[in-house]
């Protein structure tokens, strides 16, 4: 009897001591399971959303002329809609760009800006992330990568070189339009328009400092800072590119034009090569309406134009660029870039 009582006594003494410990372990493991589940779900969502951009297009691939046997038939019905969805340009509007910029059309250029990407987040991956890591993140690896800067590419370029680049791209763009038979009105007709004078704000505009927090990527990386330079004789508009269709309608009426053309080309470097980047925009406006074209794919050269690079913590990789080669490659891309916009983009 004593031995039984002693055993029960020992069991009773330990029972009161062990029970709270078991309860605490159970609660802690439950909270840990919930936390691990949430983190796993967040990682799964990021992985499903990231890495979805296809690689940028190479100019050399687009310049190859296929033989007659390799030319696919003209798609119709559902296949036509699928091809339109995969078009290099996204179209918003009812106007046909090829008709608006057809032969003999009187066109006034109300805007021509070059948005130079001088700071970009580019991980060394086959495909760029759709959503990059945030500056402040619970993932210490992501946070260190963003803060220390091994994936950041900084491309300094003097203001005079950027202005020269904007001039050469504008001349190439205008020259290509003239070769298509477009009748471009002189700048005097534009500058005499009161609506144009009221809507301008300057020849050079820097992006907001808050853009360094941007996490939305493109097929060439995540843009963290830009500098927008207007072509000579033109100015950067006060409003965004999508908000100026009403102003352009006034301008084309005051200038006596059939259509108004507004262009913003985003350019930068992708792995040391010049790129006409995704989200470059062209807007066409007539008295019947407006159509906006937005580039869905970047166009990249095969020529490396960086002379040398050096790494600096926080800043990232500083890329020195051969300005002449950089400008020459981008200028040579303009006809191909415009051909894609006019031939493959239909409302």
Q: Locate tokens 């993932």: which residue?
A: 139
Which whole-number Å values give the CA distances from 225 to 61, 146, 237, 248, 269, in the listed order? Answer: 30, 14, 19, 28, 13
What confidence score (pLDDT) does residue 150 get? 86
**Cα Rg for the chain, rounded, in angstroms?**
28
Backbone angles phi, psi at 64, to 5 degrees: -75, 125
Residue 320, beta-bridge partner list: 308
What confidence score (pLDDT) does residue 40 get? 52
**Domain residue ranges of the chain, discontinuous segments joined by +:** 1-49, 87-343
Rounded average pLDDT per 10-residue block, the chain, 347 residues: 46 45 44 59 48 82 52 43 58 89 92 95 87 73 74 93 96 94 90 80 83 90 94 77 68 90 95 95 92 93 94 90 96 92 66
What confidence score (pLDDT) does residue 331 get? 96
- Number of helices (H) and strands (E) in the chain: give both, helices first: 10, 16
Contacts of 122 (CB under 8 A, 6+ apart): 128, 151, 152, 153, 220, 221, 222, 270, 271
What confidence score (pLDDT) does residue 84 get? 41
């Amino acid at each position: 009897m004593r031995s039984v009582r002693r055993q029960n006594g020992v069991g009773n003494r330990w029972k009161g001591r062990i029970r709270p410990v078991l309860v605490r372990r159970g609660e802690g493991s439950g909270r840990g399971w919930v936390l691990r589940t949430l983190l796993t779900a967040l990682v799964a969502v990021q992985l499903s959303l990231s890495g979805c951009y296809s690689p940028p297009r190479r100019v050399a691939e687009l310049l190859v002329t296929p033989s007659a046997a390799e030319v696919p038939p003209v798609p119709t019905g559902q296949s036509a809609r699928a091809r339109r969805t995969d078009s290099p340009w996204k179209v918003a509007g009812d106007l046909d760009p090829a008709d608006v910029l057809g032969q003999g059309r009187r066109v006034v250029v109300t805007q021509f800006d070059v948005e130079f990407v001088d700071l970009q987040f580019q991980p060394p991956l086959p495909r760029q992330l759709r959503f990059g890591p945030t500056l402040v993140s619970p993932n210490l690896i992501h946070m260190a990568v963003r803060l220390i800067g091994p994936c950041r590419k900084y491309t300094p370029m003097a203001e005079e070189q950027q202005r020269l680049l904007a001039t050469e791209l504008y001349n190439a763009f205008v020259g290509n339009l003239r070769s298509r038979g477009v009748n471009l009105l002189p700048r005097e007709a534009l500058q005499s328009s009161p609506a144009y004078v009221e809507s301008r704000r300057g020849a050079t505009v820097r992006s907001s400092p808050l853009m360094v927090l941007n996490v939305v990527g493109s097929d060439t990386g995540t843009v963290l800072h830009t500098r927008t330079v207007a072509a000579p004789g033109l100015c950067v508009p006060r409003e965004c590119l999508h908000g100026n269709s009403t102003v352009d309608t006034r301008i084309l009426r005051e200038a006596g034009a059939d259509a108004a053309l507004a262009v913003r080309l985003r350019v930068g470097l992708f792995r040391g090569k010049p790129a006409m980047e995704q989200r470059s925009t062209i807007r066409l406006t007539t008295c019947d309406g407006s159509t906006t074209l937005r580039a869905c794919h970047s166009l990249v050269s095969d020529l490396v134009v960086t002379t040398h690079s050096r790494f600096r913590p926080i800043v990232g990789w500083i890329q020195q660029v051969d300005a002449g080669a950089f400008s020459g490659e981008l200028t040579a891309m303009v006809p191909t870039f415009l051909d894609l916009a006019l031939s493959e983009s239909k409302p």
